[in-house]
Structure 1
Amino acid sequence: MTTSCSTRASPARTVQGRVAEQDEEIGRRIEAALRAQHLPVEWNGSSQQRISVGPLTWQRRLPA
């Protein structure tokens, strides 16, 4: 009796990997857009972590 071991990823794992890559690309775009507005951003680049924005100092505009 012989057993074979496949090194190919299962279809579900491959799809999850692609989704994670797409999520991370979207995260990089969001991070870049926030930084372009000079907002403080913390994110490790993982699709498993939320993007943190802040701390922010709210400044209400004076009436014109």
Structure 2
Amino acid sequence: MSDQSIVFLLISATLVLFIWGRVRYDLVAFMALIAGTLVGVIPTHGVFAGFGHPAVVIIAL
């Protein structure tokens, strides 16, 4: 299966879980991040790199 197909399935599953609403949104996002890493479409060195950006910290506050 190509990376494009995997990403499409991952995004589709994430959207379905967001719309379904039974699982907390932060857990769905974290599961999508981990799943993308496990299947190899997100490089392991960049998994949590976005959390170090100042904009994320400002929005979290």
More strand by share: 1
Q: TM class by shorter-chain length? A: 0.3 to 0.5
Higher helix share: 2
TM-score by length of 2: 0.40
Q: Which has the larger radius of gyration?
A: 1
Q: Which has the higher contact order (CA 8 A, sep 6+)?
A: 2
